[in-house]
Amino acid sequence: MAGSDPTAAPDTVKILIAGGFGVGKTTMVGSVSEIAPLRTEEPLTVAGLGVDDLVGIEEKRATTVALDFGRITIGDDLVLYLFGTPGQQRFWFMWNDLAVGALGAVVLMDVRRPQASFAAVDFFERRGIPFVVGVNGFHGQHPYPPEDVRDALALPEHVPVLLCDARERESCRDVLIALIDRLIATV
C-alpha cells in the first residue's frame, strides 16, 4: 500500500468480474465504476437461440464480446481496475488472457441460475486466484442465505459469499471490499 506518504502513487490492482452468461457482470462494472465504463457489447441474434439460456433475462439484448473495463478508488490509495469477462461460452478462451496479472476475482452468480457460474468457480480455483462470490438477486430478491449458496457451490469456508444487487453501486462496492479483505488475508 502507498501508506501515509501523500506523494506516493496509489496502488493499482487488477480484478476480474466473472461469471456465467447474463449474470450481471457488465451491469456491475457499470454501477461501481467511477469512470464511464468501456463496454464491448454486440446485439444478441437468432444464432444464439438454443445456445444462450435467456430464461429469467428475457429483456437482455446484448452480450459482452471482449471485456468491460472500469475503475474504482478504495480509500486514499488503492485503485481497482475492473475487467468484466464475456459470458457466452464461445468467448471463454479470452478468460485466460484477461486473467493475466489479476490479483483476485468476483464470481457473480444469478441467484436463479447458479449452474451458469460453476465454470467460473472452477476457473479461479484451478488457477489459485482468490475470489469471492457475489450472489446477484435479480429483482432484489434473495431467497437463499449465503450458507446455502456456499453449500450449493461446494465452496470452502474461506471463500466469502455476499448477497448483492449488480445495479446498486454501494452493494457492488461492498463485494469488492470483501475481496480486498480476502486478498489481504492471503498475503
Ligand X SMILES: Nc1nc2c(ncn2[C@@H]2O[C@H](COP(=O)(O)OP(=O)(O)OP(=O)(O)O)[C@@H](O)[C@H]2O)c(=O)[nH]1
- Chain contacts with ligand X (rule: CB under 6 A): 21-27, 57, 59-60, 63-64, 86-87, 136, 138-139, 165-167
Residue ranges binding Mg ion (CB under 5 A): 25-26, 64
Give the residue from 39, 37, 18, 22 showing the smallest Cα distance to 138.
22
Q: Which of 155/172 has CB closer to Mg ion?
A: 172
Instruction: Decide whether 90 or 148 has the Cβ nearer to Mg ion.
Output: 90
114 versus 165: smaller Cβ distance to ligand X: 165
Q: Which does 5 bind (CB under 5 to 8 A by kind): ligand X, Mg ion, none?
A: none
Report, in Å, the least distance between residue 48 CB and ligand X.
10
* 21 interface partner picked from ligand X, Mg ion, none, CB below 5 to 8 A per type: ligand X
CA distance 112 to 133: 14
Q: Which helix (H) or strand (E) holds 74?
A: strand 68-74
Over the Cα atoms of the chain, what is R_g?
16
Sequence-ordered alpha helix ranges (H) in the chain: 25-32, 94-98, 118-127, 146-152, 169-186
- Are the CB atoms for 84 and 72 separated by under 8 Å? no
Residue 39 touches which member of Mg ion, ligand X, none, C-beta under 5-8 Å by kind: none
In the complex with Mg ion, the residue whose CB is nearer, 52 or 121, is 52
Residue 165 contact partner, candidates ligand X, Mg ion, none, CB within 5 to 8 A by sort of partner: ligand X
Residue 120: burial class (beta carbons within 10 Å; 0-12, 13-18, 19+): buried
CA distance 3 to 154: 37
Beta bridge partners of 109: 135
Least distance from C-beta 15 to ligand X, angstroms?
A: 15
Question: Taking CB positions, which residue lies at the least distance from ligand X?
Answer: 87
CB of 23 to Mg ion, least distance (A): 9
Nearer to ligand X, 3 or 59 (CB): 59
